[in-house]
Structures are given as structure tokens and as C-alpha cells.
A and B are shown apart, each in its own frame.
Chain A
Amino acid sequence: MATSELKTKDPGVDPATGEFRVIGQGQTFKSVTEKISRIVLTPHTPLGWFALFGLGGAVATVLMVALVWLLLMGVGIWAITQPVAWGFAIINFVWWIGIGHAGTLISAILLLFKQGWRNSINRFAEAMTIFAVVCAGMFPLIHVGRPWLAYWMLPLPVTMNVWPQFRSPLMWDVFAVSTYATISVVFWYIGMIPDFGTLRDRAESKLPQYVYGLLSVGWRGSVRHWMRYETASLLLAGLATPLVLSVHTVISFDFAVAVLPGWHTTIFPPYFVAGAIYSGFAMVLTLAIPLRKYYGLEALVTERHIDNMGKVMLATGFIVAYGYGMEVFMAWYSASHWEAFMMWNRMFGPMGWSYWVLITCNLAIPLTTLWLRKLRTNISFMFFLSLVVNTGMWFERFVIVVTSLYRDFLPSSWGTYRATKWDYMIYVGTLGLFTALFMLFVRFLPMIPMSEIRTMLPGAKITPKATAKAGD
């Protein structure tokens, strides 16, 4: 995109490159530390925080109610039955875990690619990953019907002496998702240790000093520690990268290994992974745009970040578009009657509207507009777009699960799917749980990694003696 599109007088634009700055001008070690640690250490919680936390908590209560009823009555209160035996639970599971993947992409893959701009957004993207995995992990557990027996999925020598079937993708899922959750939490925590040290040293009252002191495990910033820490971070990033790719691949195997038309396809693994990153970046934008505004972090999460995330979404959006196109192509090229009917039914059958919602939200709106830098750096437009893509990606999973299942090989066994109020309550409830957890994170943990931001400040340049200046 040509530089001339931008207002060159905009102070956010670096005249040397014509790009938006990654970090606003005039920031020093002190100012950055002050800005980020104040959000956590202030004794005055902003009213808006209480409002959002209250809202999230209230919606999460709906989840509690629905879960209690589910445990009392069983999964029969959901709309799942034959032929659509996988409903909202699996849709939501795949949707949430896909959202989580952008957090790992930002924290791990962009670290390996030395994309410095990711430093501002990686912490809350990782938090988003963990809370999304919390929401996602719940669904398979409650979907088994008797969650108190969920430990049967683990290879434990239970009383019946029955061992799990290791050839099943559902079993692989158990290992993929549990490893993903564990490594994400470890990566997140290790990343926060130096910042906990900063919070410990800057806290003025006893309780935060004590708590952050414990969490910082006595971090004191020795360069020997830093070097091992950097090695461990790089290794964790190198491990999280194949992990995140494998997680959504394994989830796509849950579908692709079945013989059902619409599921039985080799394009699923890459297309699921790209879709996951697509929706995850949309969710990062949904979270980052209000946060930077509300907490005045525009100098740290700049238009450059929004712009770059828009570019990643454009690229992954096209991979997803290729996936959709290839599904249609294979339905024709395979010359399989069942495949062709499935595709026709998916587009024009009684639930065909969901396919067109998906095409509108995932392809028509974002892939035409994201080309323009003017729109990519238009904050309100990007916020709107992020909601559109989140919706579209939810419908993608709806289309894959429901429209492949409801009319299978035998017309006498055709059915339909209409979600019940309990389905909706659980889905909306997880949105509340996610919001509430995220608000707790924003209030009590450093949402931007201070130590990583410092490495990008002009003060971190090693200058010859004559020109060395304090702080900046």
C-alpha cells in the first residue's frame, strides 16, 4: 500500500519508514513501566471495570444455571439427537479452541519470526488463549453426559481394567488439548515472572508486595538468569509452534477420520488451523481495541498493531477461502453422488442460510475491505470487522457440524436441528465466563509485558559513551 494514503502529519507515523510506529514517540523505561504497572497497582479500580466484570459475572451465572440443569437432566435438554448428534457443544468447543490459537501464534510463532511488534499484544493474547481453552475444555466434558466419569478418558488403571483406545482421534484430542492447556499456562506464567518482579518492587502496600513477591519467585534480573530465561522462552516458543498446529489438526481429525461426506476430507487440518488463527486474531482485536482505549495504551498498542493484525487476517482469510473453494471443487471433482448432494444441501437446503452467513461474514466483508490500509487502520471499522469474523467463524463450525449431519445417506433418517434455550444459555454463558476471567486478568496481572517492551525502546540501544543519555 502506498504511503501517500496516510496523513503524513500524523504523529503516529514514522517519517523514516512511512509506517505507523510500533511504539509511540517519547516513551522511556520509566514511563512504560509506570503506565503498565499503574493499571494493576492502583488502589482505585475504575467503575467501568466493575461494570464489565459484573456483566461478565452475571452472564456466567446463566452458565451455572444451565450446567446445574444439565447435570440434573442429562444432555437430553440439548437439541442433539439423531441424526445431528453433535450440536452446539462441539461447535463451541472448536470455536473457542480456535480463538485460543491466535494467542499462541502471537506469543510463539511471531517470536520465532522476530516480529518485535508482537511484544505489546502477546501477554493478553496468551491470557485470551488460556481463558478460551477453559471455555473450550468444558464442552467435551459436559458433552459426555456424565462429567463425573470424565476421568475414564485418561489412561488410568480404573477398576474395570479397561484401557483407552489409542487409535481414536477423540483419544488424541485428550492429549492434544490437555498438553496445549498445560504448555500455554506455563509459557504465560514464565513470561510474567520478570514483570511480577517489577510489580513486587513497585507495590506500595503489603498485600501486593507479598503476593507479587511470591509469584515473582525472587526474580532479580541477573543477566545469567536472563540468558537462561531467553533460551527457555525461545524453546517454549519452538515447542508451542508445532503444538498449536497439531492441536487443531487433531481436532479436525475428529471430523476428517469419519466417513461422512462433508467431513471426510484431507483439506481439513490446514483449513482448520488457518480458520483458528483467523478467528483468534479477530478476537484479539475485539479485546485489544476497547482495552487500549479505556486504559490509554494507544502508545503501546498502536495503529501498527491493528494494521498488522489486519494483514494476518487477510492472509489466513484467504487460506480459509481456499478451503471453502476446495470443498466445493472436490464435491464436483470426486464425482461422488453423496459429496455433491451434501454440498448442494449445505448451500441450498433448508439450513442453507447458515452457509451464506458464513460466506458473508468470513469472505465477502473481510476479504474485500482488509486490502485497504485506510480501513485496516480505522479503529472502529476493525472492531466491527472483528465481530463479523467471530460470528462468521462460529457459523463455519455450525455449517461443518450441522449441515453435514442432518441429511446423510438415507432419506428416511433425515432430520433437522434446532438449538434449545439450554444450548443458547451455555454458549452465551461461556462468553460471560470468558469476559469475567479476562477482566480479572486485566485488573490483577500485567497485561502488557513490560520487560519485552523495554527491549524495543530507544533507550535499549547500546550507544557509544559520548552520546549516551539517561532513560531514552
Chain B
Amino acid sequence: MPPREGTYGLLAEFDTPGDLIRAAQQARQDGWRRMDCYTPYPVEEAAEAIGFHRNKVPLITLIGALMGLAAMFSFEVWVSVLAYPLNIGGRPTYSWPAFIVPAYEWTILWAGLSAAFGMLALNGLPSLYHPLFNAPNFRNGATTDKFFLCLEALDPKFDLAEGKKYLETFQPVSVVEVEY
């Protein structure tokens, strides 16, 4: 369990994505692991810099898609063959080509919902509270025009004074301590 009081981490603010990426790369090289970057738009290089390469959203989407496909196709077969067979001019009840369209639509429906909600779930959202919102400069910049690097207190290398000095070497706009 993460500690619920005390320091969450140290937050360094940068003006440009380039500065953030260089700082994040250096920090990872220096052995920092529990850290995160916060940017107002997706910065792929920053994710690479902190060693975040792959995510599970595609897998969740694939599982959702297959479930949607299986659910609708088997439902159609059950309705048309077993539950309510219609004899129209002696045509076969198991007329699978006609079942493709609704099954196709449900594949997309389930895949799309899995992608959207799977993404939110993996991100731990909704979570309306986060310690970072306590930082005085975070909300003013993180969703507008500033770039942040946060070294978290959970990292074994973390030390308040040392960490602060370390972050200052990247010449950020500011370094602040974030409390829970």
C-alpha cells in the first residue's frame, strides 16, 4: 500500500517538451523508476524516456471484439434454428451469411466499448482526486502549456533534499514538493 500522508513526490516544471524528455531520459539512466511525466498533449518520446513502451489496450480490445462476435452470432443461430425457426419457402434455418451483418456490428460495438473503458480502467480513471492537484503550479500548466516530471517518493532512491538538488541540475522552471 502506498503511504497516504507525507510526500508524494517532487515535481519539476519545464517550458518545452525537449527539456522534459532530456530530464526524463537522464533520470531513467540514473536509475529512477517510480516517476511519471505530465504533458498537455501526447508526447510519445517522454513515454519512451521513462520506459513505457507497451500497453494492454489492444489485447482488451481484441478480447472484446471476439466476445461480441461470438455472442451475437451464437444468439442469432439460437434464435433462428432453435427458439423461433421460420420456414420461408423451405430455406435452411441456419442461413449463416445473413447472420454476419449483426455479428459484425456487435464485434465493433464490443471492441469499441472495450477499447474505451479498458483504457480508462488501465489508467485508473475516474479518479477525481490525485495528490498532484495539490501542487500549486500543476493545474495551471499541465493541461495547458507546461511539461512536468515527477519523481515519486516510492522510488527507493528517493530523498527529499537529494532529489530536489538532482532535479535542479536539469534547470527546470521550478521544483516543488507534492504532498498527499
Contact = CB atoms under 8 A, between A and B. Distances in A.
Nearest to B55: A228
Given A155-B79, A227-B42, A465-B18, A240 B112 contact: yes
B115 interface: yes
Contacts of A318: none
Interface stretch (A62-70, A164-172, A278-286): A164-172
B105 A176 contact: yes
A223 B133 CA distance: 16
A190 B113 CA distance: 11
A468 interface: yes
Interface in A211-228: 213-214, 217-228
B99 A232 contact: no
Interface in B131-180: 132-133, 138-140, 142-145
Contact of B128 (A189, A202, A218, A471): A218
- Dominant SS among interface residues on chain B: helix
Contacts of B102: 166, 171-172, 175
B108 interface: yes
Contacts of B17: 459-460, 462
B112 A239 contact: yes
A169 B99 CA distance: 10
A217 B99 contact: no
Interface in B58-80: 58, 61, 72, 75-76, 79-80
Contact of A223 (B37, B72, B84, B145): B37
B123 interface: yes
Interface in B92-119: 95, 98-99, 101-102, 104-106, 108-109, 111-113, 115-116, 118-119
B127 A470 contact: no
18 contacts: A163-B80, A167-B98, A175-B105, A186-B113, A194-B40, A213-B128, A218-B125, A220-B138, A221-B142, A223-B37, A223-B43, A223-B47, A223-B50, A226-B39, A228-B122, A240-B108, A462-B21, A471-B15
Given A202-B143, A246-B108, A463-B18, 8 more contacts: A172-B102, A187-B112, A218-B125, A219-B125, A231-B55, A455-B41, A468-B18, A468-B19
